[in-house]
Structure 1
Amino acid sequence: MTRAIASLFGVGFLHPGPGTWGSAVALVPGAVMLALAGPLAVAASALALTALGWWAVARELERTPESDPGWIVIDEAAGMWLALVGLPAFGWAGVAAAFALFRLFDIAKPGPVGWADRQGGATGVMLDDLIAGALAVFALLALSSVLPTEWFP
């Protein structure tokens, strides 16, 4: 069961770019939650997914010699949902911006994202994506203050 959770029910085995697949698959339910219940529901769901993911990742890392197997993508899902918290309401342009910013920070690993990635264990696997999601939130908030309201309703 932990392998299914950690791989986001097999999404982590898609190629190329399992992390991008994991983020994209997580985007759909995250956007639906945002549209139906708002950013607080997405934040609560991201927190619950983080706890579940941390548990599953810790168990799976005990079974593999790899420090951060590419097929583990529950961390991308948690980070993606966190990035959506930066949107006050649903809008496709904002959702696309949240996805693009999250993937940018997750791949480029600037500053604190790179530091978290080097921590090792479940902490390193999960925390870098959560920090990338948090950076996306800050970037979205900054963008929402300068872009027209059609982008960020």
Structure 2
Amino acid sequence: MRPDSFTGMSVAHLVATLGGVGLIRPAPGTWGSLVVLPLVLLGPAACLVLALVLTVAGFWAAPRVTADRSDDPSWFVADEGAGMLLALAALPAATLPGVLLAFLLFRALDILKPWPVSWADAQPGGFGVMLDDVVAGVLAACTVAALRTFFPGVLG
């Protein structure tokens, strides 16, 4: 079932759409990633905690809103929010180059789905809906951390 508007949504749909952000067209997944970017200002620990909270909430919501579907609905963007927050957690400070790199890496991994993101995406039901973006977020965070280690100062 696709929520048609913000009005009358269940709690599970509010979580799944990040409060209705998933209803924005075009590119709801990109909007779901963009909406959490300001949270980088809270610091890496806060991003990590918020990513974990959103991941748990998303895993709770996913089977409730995707039970009658075999696909990953485009309006389900809690997974993008969680994955993006994981990528942002790898940044020690909120710099434009760092945030841009984390965003581009996460979106590329989410869209292109290289292994193991593709493996996670193939998992059944709501589990796979959430897992692919969590894996993409972890991979983006690892890449950001590696770049910070091998090229200190490049991300500001």
Taking structure 2 as the reference length, what is the TM-score of the superposition? 0.87
Q: Which residue of 2 aligns with 1:79?
A: 83
Q: Are 1:3 and 2:3 matched, yes or no?
A: no
Distance 2:73 2:154 in 1: 39
Listed as ranges, the gaps of 5+ residues in structure 1 are: none
Question: Aligned letter for 1:18?
Answer: P
Query: Alpha carbon RMSD of aligned pairs, Å?
Result: 1.4
Q: Which residue of 2 aligns with 1:49?
A: 54
Q: Which residue of 1 aligns with 2:140?
A: 136
Distance 2:104 2:70 in 1: 27
Measure how far apart 1:72 and its partner are: 0.3
Q: Are 1:33 and 2:42 matched, yes or no?
A: yes
SS of alignment partner, residue 139 of structure 1: helix
Kindly provide the CA deviation profile for residues 93-125 of structure 1, in whole angstroms up to 9, marking residues without a partner as x.
101111010001100100000000010212101
SS of alignment partner, residue 111 of structure 1: coil
User: Residues 40 and 89 of structure 2 are in contact (CA less than 8 Å); yes or no, is this contact kept in structure 1?
Assistant: no
Q: Which residue of 2 aligns with 1:96?
A: 100
User: Residues 18 and 77 of structure 2 are in contact (CA less than 8 Å); yes or no, is this contact kept in structure 1?
Assistant: yes
Deviating above 4 A after TM superposition, structure 1's stretches of 4 or more consecutive aligned residues are none
Q: Are 1:61 and 2:66 matched, yes or no?
A: yes
Higher helix share: 1
The count of residues paired between Structure 1 and Structure 2 equals 146
Measure how far apart 1:146 and its partner are: 3.6
Listed as ranges, the gaps of 5+ residues in structure 2 are: 1-10
